Structure 1
Amino acid sequence: MDFLKRIADLADFVILRALPVICGFMLVLMVVFIAYTVVMRTVFLNPPFWGDTLALFANVWMVFLGLIIAVRERSNIAMEALYQMIPARYGRLFRKLWALVFAGFGLLLLIKGHEAASRILGSYWELGNLPKSYPMMILPITGAGILVASLLSFVRPLDEEPHADEQEFP
């Protein structure tokens, strides 16, 4: 049991501490690639052919990795607003249900994303013939991350106690 707790702690550390740093780094890379491309295009009239592609990859990876964080933190604003309008007991029940739905989505994305990434042909000539399957690997990575995050959210919520403003109804 102690081993499972350590695994869960490690997964929480990766999702809640490391992924935000990686997403921030992706955002910085996006800004750098776009700024460099704009300066080269407008000032020097010689835009790099790889700048837009790398900015796009950084954007896509940032969004997909951010989805893992959002699933773990249960940051869906619309759903959380709904949970505030219903009794706390039912809100916890719906949170558990959504955690299971996200786990199913993560499993689907893991399996089908890997199939899609491994079947895509071709390469990006502007990136030194980088196989197109490499950037697409974000799909199974995100699927695995969502699966882990949703299972953690199901068995170990970040906020186990109801909020002070929530009332418990019989």
Structure 2
Amino acid sequence: MRDLDRKAIRASRRLNWLVERFCVLLLVLLILDVWLGVLVRYILPVSWTFTEELARYLMIWAALLAVSSGISHREHIGMLVVFDQFPPGLRKWLAVAFDIIAFGFFAVIAVYGLDFVERGFSRYTMIGGLPKAYPFIGVPLAAGLACVQLMLVAIHDFFSEDGITAAERVEL
């Protein structure tokens, strides 16, 4: 169990590094797509209608994937005003309880998201007749990443011997 907390936070930060870069890529593609949409609507004499739908999917993917990044740094929504009123020993167990509840929530989304993806293979986008399952796969993927990040930061926070939480730890 020794150094388990540091290994967990290291794995969390490495996974988060990849997710953050992928989110930046999605945002760059989103900006380019929106500009392309403006150009084809007002300047270029082509009728590409897929740009609005692609922008929607890119934005949804980026937002969903960013959830795991927030979890990695413990920057997700919380009631710290109430939480900080409890003694440190009780806070540790409350954090575990909240992590278990959040894990259950994201696990349910991941499982039902897979059914959502499966049904998406029978529906098609305006983007070259692409099955909607490909954009829809962002839901279970993001929920699965959130589950992994929740496990890693919970392991870190629970087994941390120095009492430093995932939110406070800066080194890899």
TM-score range relative to shorter protein:
0.7 to 0.9
Instruction: For structure 2, list consecutive stretches of 5 or more residues without a partner in the other structure.
Output: 166-172
Superposed CA deviations along residues 35-67 of structure 1, whole A, max 9, x for unmatched, are 111122122354521111111111000011001
Q: CA deviation at 1:83?
A: 3.0
Asked if the contact 1:96/1:154 (under 8 Å) is kept, the reply is yes
1:122 aligns with 2:123: yes
Whether 2:36 is the aligned partner of 1:50: answer no
- The amino acid of 1:76's aligned partner reads H
User: What is the SS of the residue equivalent to 2:99?
Assistant: helix
| Residues 81-92 of structure 1 aligned to structure 2 (within 5 Å) | 81-92=81-92
Overall identity of the aligned pairs, in %: 19
Query: How large is the RMSD of aligned CA atoms in angstroms?
Result: 2.9
Q: CA deviation at 1:10?
A: 7.6
Partners of 1:106 and 1:146 within 8 A in 2: yes
- Please name the residue that 2:32 is paired with: 32
Structure 1 residue runs of 5 or longer lacking an equivalent are 164-170
- The residue type paired with residue 49 of structure 2 is F
Deviation (angstroms), 1:133: 1.1
2:134 equivalent to 1:134? yes
In structure 1, the partner of 2:170 is none
Q: What is the CA–CA distance in structure 2 between the aligned matches of 1:134 and 1:53, rounded to whole Å?
A: 13
Q: Distance in 2 between matches of 1:109 and 1:155?
A: 22
TM-score in terms of structure 2 length: 0.78
1:69 maps to which residue?
69
Cα distance, 1:81 vs structure 2: 4.2
Shift of 1:30: 0.8
Match of residue 18 from structure 1: 18
Which structure is higher in RCO with an 8 Å CA cutoff and minimum separation 6? Answer: 2
